[in-house]
Structure 1
Amino acid sequence: MTWLEKVRNKITFIVKRETPDNLWHRCPGCKTMIFNKEYEENLSVCPKCGYHGRIGSRARFDFLFDEGDYSVLPPPVVAEDPLKFRDTKRYADRLKAARTKSGENDALLNAQGLFGGRQTIIGVQDFSFMGGSMGLAVGSAFVAGIRAAIRHQSPYIIFTAAGGARMQEGILSLMQMPRTTAAIAELKEAGLPYIVVLTDPTTGGVTASYAMLGDIQIAEPGALIGFAGQRVIESTIREKLPDGFQRAEYLLEHGMIDMVVPRSELRNRLISLMDYLLPVSEPA
């Protein structure tokens, strides 16, 4: 071994030992290495290319609510593992692992607080919890969020992120599609706004139900939005799909959504929309 190789190995050993594993984040878009602190302060958006990373429900609530002050609504109690499902693992074990990792009960969390000075209910799906998949717990949480909004005469804003229905709950997960659609009808009958923010990715049964029924449809830049996957569609129609198909910008261009808003501008845009949809009446 040469002197140069000895020095190089020694330096590598020192760097490996003294550099924390979570100090850097590699942007999936431009592959730039970013300090994690800088990345988190920028709302998990790459400062170089604008790639929007996935974030959890608590991080969104902290950013959205006035002064970061909110209260989380208790998750509804539902039947767990109703089909006693098992694949390579028991469904009960998968749930336990997801809860331990995330600290949350399931993939959809609702919170209530002041948002632009107005009482608002916001729901957020977390893709890190079993792919944000929709089962009994997600459907029940969505309905609970809608009914809380009706009780408080406030808007309901949902941030979607899902791979679709939760296969371990079979037909029970698919039944959440008409169930959540009926809940939206209750909100509209009450004359309250329902705003959807589509985040990466929003697919499957979630897209086929409550994700595309908003009074206003907003998406974050670059978000994947669709029902079936691109490869499935291509194999079905036997044609090559255009570049950017199922991305937020493509959907905006073809009239599927109303706007694409960067995360840094999202809070102010939502507040402006709510002021338009629910104007405060002047005192007599």
Structure 2
Amino acid sequence: MGLFKKKKYFTVPMNVETSKAEEENQPAIPDGMWVKCNSCGKIIYKKEIDENHKICTHCGGYFRMSADERIASIMDRGTFKEFNYGMIAKNPLNFPGYKDKLIESQEKSGITDGVTTGLGKVNGKNVVLAVMDSNFMMGSMGSVVGEKITQAIEIATARKEPVIIFTCSGGARMQEGILSLMQMAKTSAALKRHDEAGLLYISVITDPTTGGVTASYASLGDIILAEPKALIGFAGRRVIEQTIKQKLPDEFQTSEFLLEHGFVDKIVKREEMKETLSVLLSLHGCK
């Protein structure tokens, strides 16, 4: 068994004085100043990414955006008013470690759950907006996510306003079991009532959107937009290939593949998203 034990390596400074001198001469680089692009592998100054819509300045690859960053890029400054900020998930199934996971995610992301909802303006046009955030448990859909989105849709219906939902999710939240799956029906029913009122719903799918979110409100938009090269699907590629005993195309479950097959209406670059949404709202008579 000793063959499989990982060796522990450590370094010992030549002497204490030398070590201290080296530390004093080292430049102070704050954590998080540089980021690595998952597409091209280059190390990039974070400020460059932030000023470029969270897009790699070398290869054009997309970094994921937080809910706050997305809202700032879409909504007119100072117009967004959030709904249900204090809504926090419980642990209805007493799932081991779930409570601690929620607290950890809240501290890390700065939000209370996987979606931020509210009312604001896009180039002067009123909209109700919901933005999922992958920083909170990979944007998984639990009872709070479903309830916040449902209430946002119902507010839009009552106010006769359009709804825009940005999706980014790993699917239903396993720690809440059937309660998370019930959110698929609840959000879909709210969108049905919104549609019957003759109101507009735009779904914007970002990377990744999978599982129960894809199977419900992400797919129900009157207009479905997507960011370039976003992963969109229900089950994973490996599960599907094992089930159907076939090799899937390399581009399978990308926004480009789904556009070609009629699931997505248009792929929109991030820097063009606000203007595209504004045009669509104007074409549908939204004010």
Structure 1 79/262 Cα, relative in aligned 2: closer, same or farther at 3 Å?
A: closer
Question: For residues 17-64 of structure 1, what are the alpha-carbon distances to aligned partners after superposition, in whole Å with 9 as ceiling and x for unaligned?
Answer: 423332212111112222110100111111222111111111111111
- The SS at the match of 2:121 is strand
Displacement after TM superposition at 1:128 (Å) = 1.1
1:143 is matched with 150
- What is the aligned partner in structure 2 of residue 19 from structure 1? 29
- List structure 1 segments (4+ residues) > 6 angstroms apart after TM superposition: 9-15
* TM-score, normalised relative to structure 2: 0.89
Distance apart, 1:122 and its partner CA: 0.7
> In the alignment, is the contact (CA less than 8 A) between 1:195 and 1:214 conserved in 2?
yes
Name the stretch that deviates more: 218-227 or 22-31: 22-31
Q: Which residue of 1 aligns with 2:128?
A: 121
Residue 265 of structure 2 corresponds to which residue in structure 1?
A: 258
Q: Indicate the SS of the match to 2:77.
A: helix
Q: Does 1:187 align with 2:199?
A: no
Q: 165, 177, 181: which one pairs with 2:184?
A: 177
- The answer to whether residue 246 in structure 2 is matched with residue 221 in structure 1 is no
Identity of aligned pairs, percent? 46
Deviations 1:136-156 (A, max 9, x none): 100000101101112222110
TM superposition shift of 1:69: 3.1
> How far did 1:109 drift?
0.8
Q: Tell me the alpha carbon deviations over residues 90-140 of structure 1, each in whole angstroms, 9 at most, x when there is no partner.
A: 211111111111121100110211212111111000011011111110000
Instruction: Specify the SS of the correspondent of 2:262.
Output: coil
Query: 1:16–1:260: structure 2 CA closer, same or farther, 3 Å change rule?
Result: farther
For structure 1, the 5+ residue unaligned runs are: 1-8
Task: Give the one of 237, 241, 255 matched to 2:244.
Answer: 237
Change in Cα spacing, 1:257 to 1:15, as seen in structure 2 (3 Å) is farther
C-alpha distance in structure 2 between counterparts of 1:226 and 1:15, whole Å:
51
Out of 151, 154, 159, which is 2:161 matched to? Answer: 154
> Where do 1:199-218 residues align within 5 Å?
199-218=206-225
**Using the alignment, how far apart are the partners of 1:14 and 1:181 within structure 2?**
60
Aligned residues: 269
Tell me whether 1:84 sits opposite 2:101 in the alignment: no
Q: Equivalent residue for 1:276?
A: 283
Give the CA RMSD over aligned residues: 2.0
Match of 1:62 in 2: 72
Report SS of the residue matched to 2:212: helix
Tell me which of 118, 124, 143 is aligned to 1:111.
118
- The 1:115/1:138 distance shift into structure 2, 3 A limit, reads same
Match of 1:53 in 2: 63
Task: For residue 255 of structure 1, report the CA deviation from its aligned partner.
Answer: 1.1
CA shift, 1:79, in A, is: 5.9
The question of whether the paired residues in 2 share the 8 Å contact of 1:61 and 1:111 is answered with no
For the 8 Å contact 1:61–1:68, the answer to whether it is kept is: no
For 1:211 and 1:150, the matched residues in 2 are separated by 18
Q: Distance in 2 between matches of 1:25 and 1:249?
A: 27
Using the size of structure 1 for normalisation, the TM-score is 0.89
- Alignment partners' CA distance in 1, 2:21 and 2:48: 26
Does the CA-based 8 Å contact 2:125-2:286 persist in structure 1?
A: no
**Residues of 2 paired with 1:270 and 1:141: CA distance?**
22
C-alpha contact (below 8 Å) 1:160/1:202 kept by paired residues:
yes
| Residues 87, 112 of structure 2: 8 Å contact kept | no
Cα distance between partner residues in 1 of 2:255 and 2:78: 28
- In 2, Cα distance between equivalents of 1:242 and 1:218: 22
**Superposition deviation, residue 209 in structure 1:** 0.7
Which of 28, 35, 45 is the aligned partner of 1:35?
Answer: 45
**Is there any run of 5+ residues in structure 2 with no aligned partner, and where?**
1-18
Q: 1:12 to 1:26 in 2, by over 3 A?
A: farther
In 2, distance between residues paired with 1:75 and 1:213?
25
